[in-house]
Structure 1
């Protein structure tokens, strides 16, 4: 079977009305591996009777359940046909009996299914390169042209090496050895990495597709250390001595924790992950406008994204402890996760302080007093002139669907908006299952470091 005879189609579930019949009558299938859509067939009852007469069983593959969720919410299902329009595969669920490999199989078509194109390429490249040694002509691979939905044609597999230039000086610094460019090239060749010496300090490394584990310079340095031999690296005393000290951001965080606790607030520790409605719909916002980091395959609806605010966790904590004596005063000093295209990982952490006051009255004066206390501790004076050169002030010329109109303000420090203080909107309180008003404060404390 040649790759040119294969066609990838997208059909809705109700479009799968003849595949089982064709598999039995044309391909001569003796079993049906997964009959989840058999009732979409024309004359399904008649087909089942025929299968009974021919003793064709539908096997129950419970191990396939883990893959059903990948396509169950899709409007169409991916299906691979051959030139006779016979179904070969319903990725990622099941392969057809028509295309199974036997001891007589000579031509093998390798197809890889994934929800991430990069991961699919990595698996495909490793599969074909490892399988190639068993070909009639060793290491000969036939490529396949794949036509995209937009009409663009891409040839797979792409077996071109990745190229990265490295510094010999940095290699020596990272490992703690002293080798020249020629010796470094020899060490990397031992690890199956092609090299070309550019100059005395630069080596161009060719990374084959079989080395998908190499992502950064540090991975190449590790390979060099392995080839050199860890036992051959001399143990040396560091040329500089220093005294360890607490990370400054953590030091400031601890100081604020103690001070806020002294003001009568109880510290809480909430989950880093939350659901999309927790940061969007419950606050009257659109999730598309929030820089949230989404989890590709969340195991539960409660943990879909990294939190972009500490407030939802504290509101949930109060909702689960409404029998506690009033007022309930909680706070948390922890990180939130925000998208950031300027970072290598595409996101960043931001240390925040959030406090909440829950009582029969909003108690905005309590939260406002806590803000003033925090600013006093970090030595940021109040700016009565509301200028951006120094100090802090509150900007109430803003709108936010999460807060009661006219009862909230932005906290401005040095001209930058670092947070918000105010009374939550009744809709927000209702969405979190609460019955009494709340005042909250949430600020970014990193500018104080």
Structure 2
């Protein structure tokens, strides 16, 4: 979860501006009830973890607004005050297939304080942007944000698609660079070049002087950098998801408005010619069935109780008509997707501690699922064989899963679209490679090493469960692993099973020293010695034997004795 650090002086300043006393002890006691875990609350700094469903709390300024509603019961304003501005932004038609959603806003007259406060603000503004890029923008794919010093720009603005040879001076650079150069050598270009992969034209935002102020979603122009003299801001948000873009725009604007800024709308003409004004400050009207609220909370709340609870969460209770409750919530509350979310908001606003207690009205007897019994029996058997349970990563790669170990893919392989490392490019289909990696990482420990894993694999984009074990020991071989498999099958209650020779090259097993287990005509698993050539890929130089079984096949082939 994202963690933010907020200076207590900032919270105190904003609270006093609105007529409230900033009490650190009360803050420390009540803020966790909003759903934020406090890591540290000292006289100077508040460190808190923000749940992913509350991106509206990712800056000190927007957090202060939530504190005023939740702790001090300030009348909530789910609508954002937006003054009609005189700045326009026009998007060229070719942006439809490159970066179709482009929004803008202006905030003027922001009060930043002295030099020390300004430095802290600029740092927090950048931090807020990056956290929104993560929480709402999904790594800038759905939404990316640019914040500029408006005094260095000449409106109106227009967004065009340009060639990769187009040059401008990017942020923190002194010399102009072409777009191709930025994508290949600039740190931000390298990080986010994949978002524009395959495009021949690239989006840029220009002012009336044709100066490039932004190359979304990569980097801003250097001449628009926010500095100590900046008081008027232009915000651009671009992306592919309107909800993410709109929420990001409003949250950055809200952060600036909490410091005394006035939000002005920007007239945006999109790629289709449609004209809209952003940000749209109007609240969103939600409908909540009364019986859903009463049934989930276990008690009937009065209109006054609902109104107070909703107000504490930044919304406004409108009315109740029959079985329908009307509630207004801020448009930037990206997380309000369903009536159940409103129930949670009311529960938090009212206080879980005040919902009362109750006991189930219907008698219910818990019965374990058959696969739970099977898992328990497998764990008992593995532990009885002296094996230690481990849990390896679900993410793997082609070499470990297939190329090195000679396993064949089952159905389609589920691959990661934008893998962070070459080691984690797909979801595993087998457990044995993960056990081999574990043994490879623990060669500094004494032998024997006996491990097993009972875990999930993904085959043909569907989850399935498997169990595998490996034993690294100086003696043993095929006879030893066959004995372990026979003991395992005995522990599961299977007597009528057949062990047949496994074809050479089918998996990581040594030719002639491997076999498959068949129960009632069902192939439940295979076992054998690990081929030294396979072990060498994992830098292992000791004899290893093991087995891997399918839980689904075991469950279908062996009846549950419980």
The alignment status of 1:178 with 2:284, answered yes or no, reads: no
Q: Could you list the per-position Cα deviations for residues 321-344 of structure 1 after superposition, in whole angstroms to 9, with x for gaps in the alignment?
A: 557776x45232333353787xxx
In 1, are the aligned partners of 2:411 and 2:460 still within 8 Å (CA)? no
Residues 1:142 and 2:275 are matched in the alignment: no
Say whether 1:333 aligns with 2:333. no
Secondary structure of the residue aligned to 2:267 is coil
In structure 1, what is the equivalent of residue 488 of structure 2?
374
| Structure-1 separation of matches of 2:321 and 2:495 | 57
Choose from 211, 222, 241 the match for 1:86.
Answer: 211
Cα 1:323–1:231, aligned 2, differ >3 Å: closer, same or farther?
closer
- Greater relative CO, 1 or 2 (CA 8 Å, sep 6+): 2
Q: Which ranges of structure 1 fall in alignment gaps of 5 or more residues? A: 21-31, 42-63, 342-346, 385-392
Which residue number corresponds to residue 313 of structure 1?
434
- Aligned residue for 1:356? 470
After superposition, the Cα gap between the structure-2 partners of 1:39 and 1:238, relative to the gap in structure 1 and judged at 3 Å, is closer
* Deviation (angstroms), 1:177: 0.7
Instruction: Spell out, residue by residue over 1:120-147, the C-alpha distance to the aligned partner (whole angstroms, 9 max, x if none).
Output: 45423544688799998x7755334248
Q: Helix, strand or coil for the counterpart of 1:352?
A: strand
Distance in 2 (alpha carbons) for counterparts of 1:406 and 1:183? 78
Which residue in the other structure is 1:47 paired with? Answer: none
Structure 2 CA distance for aligned equivalents of residues 84 and 335 of structure 1: 60
Q: Deviations over 1:189-212 (max 9, x none)?
A: 645268897964x66877653211
Alignment partner for residue 110 of structure 1, among 223, 226, 235? 235
Cα distance in 1 for partners of 2:505, 2:242 equals 41
Provide the rounded CA distance (Å) in 2 between the counterparts of 1:156 and 1:427. 66
Residue 283 in structure 1 maps to residue 405 in structure 2: yes
Cα gap change, 1:132 to 1:273, in 2 (>3 Å):
same
Work out which of the residue numbers 225, 234, 246 in structure 1 matches 2:356.
234
CA distance in 2, matches of 1:291, 1:35: 42
The verdict on how the C-alpha distance between 1:412 and 1:146 changes in structure 2, with shifts beyond 3 A counting, is farther
Structure 1 contact 395–411 (Cα < 8 Å) conserved? no
Counterpart-to-counterpart distance in 2, 1:87 and 1:307: 45
Aligned counterpart, 1:3 = 89
Q: CA contact under 8 A between 1:128 and 1:141: conserved in structure 2? A: no
Shift in alpha-carbon separation, 1:275–1:139, aligned structure 2, 3 A: same
Structure 2 unaligned residues grouped into runs of 5+:
1-86, 91-156, 180-185
Comparing 266-275 and 240-249, the one that deviates more: 240-249
| Aligned pairs for 1:243-322 within 5 A | 252-263=374-385, 265-272=386-393, 274-276=395-397, 277-283=399-405, 291-292=413-414, 294=416, 298=420, 307-322=428-443
Structure-to-structure mapping, 1:169-208, within 5 angstroms:
169-179=291-301, 190=311, 192=315, 200=323
Q: 1:366 to 1:19 in 2, by over 3 A?
A: same
CA contact (8 A) 2:406 2:507 kept: yes
**1:314, CA displacement in angstroms?**
1.8
Structure 2: distance between partners of 1:163 and 1:405: 68
Tell me which residue corresponds to 1:49.
none
How far apart are the structure 2 equivalents of 1:222 and 1:312?
43
Name the CA shift for 1:153/1:403 in 2 (closer, same or farther; >3 Å): farther
How high is the TM-score relative to the length of structure 2?
Answer: 0.51
In structure 2, C-alpha distance between the alignment counterparts of 1:366 and 1:154, rounded to whole Å: 75
C-alpha distance in 2, partners of 1:406/1:118?
Answer: 60
Pairwise CA RMSD: 5.5
Alpha-carbon separation, structure 2, partners of 1:109 and 1:331? 58
Q: Please point out which of 90, 96, 101 is paired with 2:221.
A: 96
Offset, 1:315: 0.9
TM-score, length-scaled by structure 1: 0.61
1:6-155 → structure 2 map (5 Å cutoff): 6-9=158-161, 12=164, 15=165, 18-20=167-169, 33-35=171-173, 38=176, 68-71=190-193, 80-82=204-206, 85-92=210-217, 94-99=219-224, 109-112=234-237, 119-120=244-245, 122-124=247-249, 126-127=251-252, 140=265, 142-146=267-271
Three-state SS of the structure 1 residue aligned to 2:453 is strand
Deviation at 1:185, TM superposition (A): 7.7
Paired with 2:441 and 2:234, the residues of 1 have a C-alpha distance of 56
Aligned residues: 388
Deviation, structure 1 residue 367: 3.1
Contact 1:424 1:440 (8 Å CA) reproduced: yes
* Equivalent residues of 1:354, 1:440 under 8 A apart: yes
Q: Take 1:364 and 1:275, find their aligned partners in 2: how far apart are those partners?
A: 28
Deviation per residue, 1:137-188 (Å, 9 max, x gap) = x7755334248xxxx99989797998987654343232221359x7898678
| Alpha-carbon distance in structure 2 between the residues aligned to 1:325 and 1:257 | 24
